[in-house]
């Protein structure tokens, strides 16, 4: 089926959302019921520092969380923190003191003053109009604001309302910093995330059972396989281990001199989406198909371009002595395979 579809349904009792583009699964969000959602804000209580790691465990109603780069924080002190992602097995939930209040059109940033408009909005008149709206709503709060790319085609009143809601939430949360450990706000679920992040025009499907009738279940079932066929006849395996995610890239039956570079470029273009769909993060190690060292820059350029279009923060770490390529990817999601059973 041609076009974009946002499908809102439930999977194994969990709230879920899928983005289909021309009949192919482009993204999927599945709720993790037994872990705090990213974006959740706590009033936490400092517990104990971790010597040598520059961090501290904090107490919350949902258990311990871990805050990195702690300075001047004493045990027993209350502070506001926000969940940044999901924890690895056996580790505490990661949090930050840099709170973000994010919606479809606006992100209020209390710790980063200033007004910024998405770089994808290039029309100077539109940028000026958006800044006028922002200044009228924000007034002299001192908080920072980011106007997102979705503002380009949005109604000015809707943008103003969105900014006002995020600003009001920020002020309410920041005024509630003292007291015992408490969950102050819950992170967005998959349906709200889909509205917030998938802003391009799309048909929205909300009927129960839509995952089955629109091919989402079949696409999710395909993610159980580690193997992915690549254009040109190559293939790659994406296999998570406890320590890292291993990606093995092969040329298949093609034995021509250019086969290695072609397979690696195809894998670079496909990898961000595959990691996103599979909910994989942390350390990513790529075992590339054989190619001359002179082609490494070409591969890196393809990978960089693919990652630039991806929504999950990923750092290109570089080459290892064995010729592998490493990435460090934020753990924004739970591994999809664990949510399908």
Contact indicator for 300, 316 with CB cutoff of 8 Å:
yes
Contact indicator for 59, 47 with CB cutoff of 8 Å:
yes
Has residue 25 got a pLDDT over 80?
yes
pLDDT of residue 296: 96
Q: Are residues 236 and 323 in the same domain?
A: yes
Q: Are residues 156 and 210 in the same domain?
A: no
**DSSP 8-state code for residue 258:** T
Report the percent of the chain where pLDDT is more than 90: 81
pLDDT of residue 196: 96
Pairing of the two strands 63-68 and 78-83: unpaired
pLDDT of residue 280: 95
**129 within domain boundaries:** yes
Q: Are residues 65 and 112 in the same domain?
A: no
pLDDT of residue 49: 86
Averaged pLDDT of the chain? 93
Has residue 120 got a pLDDT over 90?
yes
Has residue 118 got a pLDDT over 90?
yes
Q: Which 3 state secondary structure label does DSSP give 63?
A: strand
pLDDT tens digits for range 194-210: 999 999 999 999 999 99
**Model pTM score:** 0.90
Has residue 140 got a pLDDT over 80?
no
Q: Which 3 state secondary structure label does DSSP give 308?
A: helix
Reported confidence tier of residue 35, pLDDT bands at 50, 70, 90: confident
Which stretches within the chain are classed as H helix? 124-138, 156-174, 190-197, 210-213, 216-222, 259-278, 296-308, 336-340
Among 177, 206, 233, which residue terminates a domain? Answer: 177
Report the percent of the chain where pLDDT is more than 70: 99
**182 within domain boundaries:** no
Reported confidence tier of residue 34, pLDDT bands at 50, 70, 90: confident
Q: Are residues 230 and 212 in the same domain?
A: no
pLDDT of residue 51: 76
Q: Are residues 106 and 206 in the same domain?
A: no
- End-to-end Cα, the chain, rounded Å: 28
pLDDT of residue 77: 93
Ramachandran bin of 43, using left for φ above 0, alpha for ψ from -120 to 50, beta for the remaining angles: beta
**186 within domain boundaries:** no
Q: Are residues 58 and 14 in the same domain?
A: no
Alpha-carbon span 3 to 56, nearest angstrom = 47
Q: What's the average model confidence in pLDDT over 276-305? A: 96
Has residue 88 got a pLDDT over 80?
no
Reported confidence tier of residue 339, pLDDT bands at 50, 70, 90: confident
**156-163, long-range: CB < 8 A, 24+ apart:** 156/129, 158/105, 159/105, 159/106, 159/130, 159/133, 160/133, 160/136, 162/103, 162/104, 162/105, 162/106, 163/105, 163/106, 163/108, 163/133, 163/134, 163/137, 163/138
Q: Are residues 209 and 248 in the same domain?
A: no
Domain assignment of residue 199, given as a range: 4-31+192-216
**184 within domain boundaries:** no
Q: What's the average model confidence in pLDDT over 118-129? A: 95
Question: Which CATH number does the domain housing residue 250 bear?
Answer: 3.40.630
Q: What's the average model confidence in pLDDT over 160-171? A: 96
Among 70, 97, 124, which residue terminates a domain? Answer: 97
Q: Are residues 71 and 21 in the same domain?
A: no
Has residue 90 got a pLDDT over 80?
no
pLDDT of residue 89: 74
pLDDT tens digits for range 64-77: 999 987 777 888 99
Q: Which of 155, 154, 157, 152 is nearest to 125 (CA)?
A: 152
Reported confidence tier of residue 48, pLDDT bands at 50, 70, 90: confident
| DSSP character string of 177-233 | -SSSSEEEEPPP-HHHHHHHH--S--EEE--TTHHHHTTHHHHHHHTTSSEEE-TTS
Count of the separate structural domains present in the chain? 4
Has residue 214 got a pLDDT over 90?
yes
For residue 277, count CB atoms less than 10 angstroms from its CB and return exposed for 0-12, middle for 13-18, buried for 19 or more.
buried
Question: Which CATH number does the domain housing residue 55 bear?
Answer: 2.40.50.140
Q: Are residues 26 and 72 in the same domain?
A: no
Q: What's the average model confidence in pLDDT over 228-249? A: 94
**185 within domain boundaries:** no
Q: Are residues 46 and 115 in the same domain?
A: no
Least-confidence region, from 33-37, 134-138, 237-241:
33-37
Q: Are residues 233 and 299 in the same domain?
A: yes
Has residue 232 got a pLDDT over 90?
no
**48 within domain boundaries:** yes
């Amino acid at each position: 089926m041609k076009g974009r579809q946002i499908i809102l349904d439930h999977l194994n009792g969990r709230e879920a959302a899928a983005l289909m583009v021309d009949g192919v699964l482009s993204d999927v969000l599945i709720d993790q019921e037994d872990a705090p959602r990213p974006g959740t804000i706590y009033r936490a209580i400092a517990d104990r520092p971790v010597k040598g790691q520059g961090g501290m465990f904090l107490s919350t109603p949902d258990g311990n969380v871990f805050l990195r780069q702690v300075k001047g924080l004493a045990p027993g002190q209350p502070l506001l923190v926000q969940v940044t992602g999901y924890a690895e097995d056996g580790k505490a939930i990661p949090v930050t003191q840099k709170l973000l209040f994010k919606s479809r059109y606006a992100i209020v940033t209390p710790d980063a003053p200033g007004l910024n408009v998405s770089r994808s909005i290039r029309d100077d008149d539109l940028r000026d109009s958006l800044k006028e709206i922002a200044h009228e709503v924000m007034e002299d709060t001192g908080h920072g604001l980011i106007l997102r790319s979705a503002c380009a085609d949005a109604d000015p009143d809707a943008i103003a309302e969105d900014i006002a809601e995020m600003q009001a939430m920020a002020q309410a949360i920041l005024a509630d910093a003292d007291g015992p450990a408490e969950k102050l706000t819950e992170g967005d679920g998959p349906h709200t995330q889909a509205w917030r992040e998938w802003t391009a025009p799309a048909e929205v499907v909300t009927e129960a059972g839509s995952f089955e009738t629109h091919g989402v279940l079949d696409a999710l079932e395909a993610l159980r396989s580690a193997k992915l066929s690549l254009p040109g006849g190559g293939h790659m395996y994406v296999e998570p281990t406890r320590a890292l995610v291993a990606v093995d890239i092969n040329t298949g039956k093609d034995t021509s001199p250019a086969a290695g570079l072609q397979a690696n470029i195809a894998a670079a273009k496909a990898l961000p989406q595959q990691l996103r769909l599979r909910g994989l993060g942390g350390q990513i190690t790529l075992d590339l198909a054989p190619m001359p060292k002179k082609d490494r820059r070409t591969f890196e350029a393809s990978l960089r371009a693919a990652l630039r279009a991806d929504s999950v923060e990923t750092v290109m770490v570089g080459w290892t002595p064995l010729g592998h390529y490493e990435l460090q990817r934020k753990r924004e999601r739970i591994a999809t395979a664990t949510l399908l059973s």
